[in-house]
Structure 1
Amino acid sequence: MPFENPSREHIKEILQRTTTVAVVGLSDKPDRVSYMVSEAMQKKGYRIIPVNPMAKGSILGETVYASLSEIPESVDIVNVFRRSEEVVPVAEEAVKIKAKVFWLQQGIFNEEAADIAKAGGLEVIMDRCIKVEDSILLPGGK
């Protein structure tokens, strides 16, 4: 059976109950989409945890981690800004840290990663921008 994203109503419920979003591939460059999306989500009240093995120090005022496994707290959503062919290991790590949702940004789709995340008990959203969904579904905030 081909992959299908959850309904818009269910995505709204996911966003309403989310507090912490680990962003894999968050750039420290303000002109990058990952930075702009994460900054907008942070301004809406989400806690953003940067995950980028190439960045050091902090991004958006938050400590950067090299991997999901290094994050010392629970994560609601793992939001991924990586190429489709690079997301299977991210899905495996998201399962290991017991995240609740595996979210691949717009343009990113990988059935194998989705299957791994689902088998590990995570909800999966692919090829959708978290900022766009949040803006449409929760325009006034959470």
Structure 2
Amino acid sequence: MADWKANLLETDDRIRDLLATVKRVAVLGIKTEGQADQAAFYVPQALARAGVEIVPVPIYYPDVKTILGKPVFRSIAEIPGPVDLVDVFRRPADVAKHVDELVAKKPRAVWLQKGIRNDAAAEALAKAGILVVQDRCLMVEWGRLGPG
């Protein structure tokens, strides 16, 4: 499995190719409208405005039933159907807690937001055949490299 490093996307061309095919994004660690000034809310909000289907997966806010008008799921595993990309808003040390459920769900890609890097988790995901982007803002890269 020496080629797993090919699943770590670091160049604009590879990221552009990924973004061109993304239609459904689960957001792990999404915030609510009450935290609209935080990236974990306004990044998925911007993607939704760009036509991306957002699937909210908050870590906190147990009483919240919808975010961005979409039903909330309490884990990646609960999400019905396929997911193109999981956008992760978790502290770097907390990413490892989600590796098993991410591998089980098998999204095409996992995106660790700006400031989030966990090389061990990225390696595990990449070895499972999942594309991984680390330490980049999905909203910024979508605007720079994404479709439309």
Instruction: State the TM-score, normalized to the length of structure 1.
Output: 0.92
Say whether 1:70 aligns with 2:74: no
| Secondary structure in 1 matching 2:80 | coil
Match in the other structure for 1:123: 131
Q: CA deviation at 1:26?
A: 0.3
Number of aligned positions between the proteins: 139
Say whether 1:22 aligns with 2:30: no
How well do the aligned residues superpose, as a CA RMSD in angstroms?
Answer: 1.6
Output aligned runs, 1:64-103, within 5 Å.
64-103=72-111
Post-superposition Cα deviations, 1:38-84, rounded to whole Å, max 9, x if no partner, equal: 10011111111110142320000111111100101210111100000
Question: Whose helix fraction is larger, Structure 1's or Structure 2's?
Answer: 2
| Secondary structure in 1 matching 2:87 | strand
Q: Which amino acid aligns with 1:58?
A: T
Post-superposition Cα deviations, 1:3-26, rounded to whole Å, max 9, x if no partner, equal: 964310111111110101000000
| Secondary structure in 1 matching 2:132 | strand
Percentage of identical aligned residues: 35
Q: Which amino acid aligns with 1:67?
A: S
| Secondary structure in 1 matching 2:20 | helix
Match in the other structure for 1:132: 140
Contact 1:38–1:48 (8 Å) recurs in 2? yes
Say whether 1:60 aligns with 2:64: no
What are structure 1's unaligned runs of at least 5 residues? none
- From the superposition, tell whether residues 4 and 69 of structure 1 become closer, same or farther in structure 2 (CA, over 3 Å): closer
Instruction: State the TM-score, normalized to the length of structure 2.
Output: 0.88
Higher relative contact order, structure no. (Cα contacts within 8 Å, ≥ 6 residues apart): 2
Post-superposition Cα deviations, 1:117-140, rounded to whole Å, max 9, x if no partner, equal: 0111101100000000011113xx
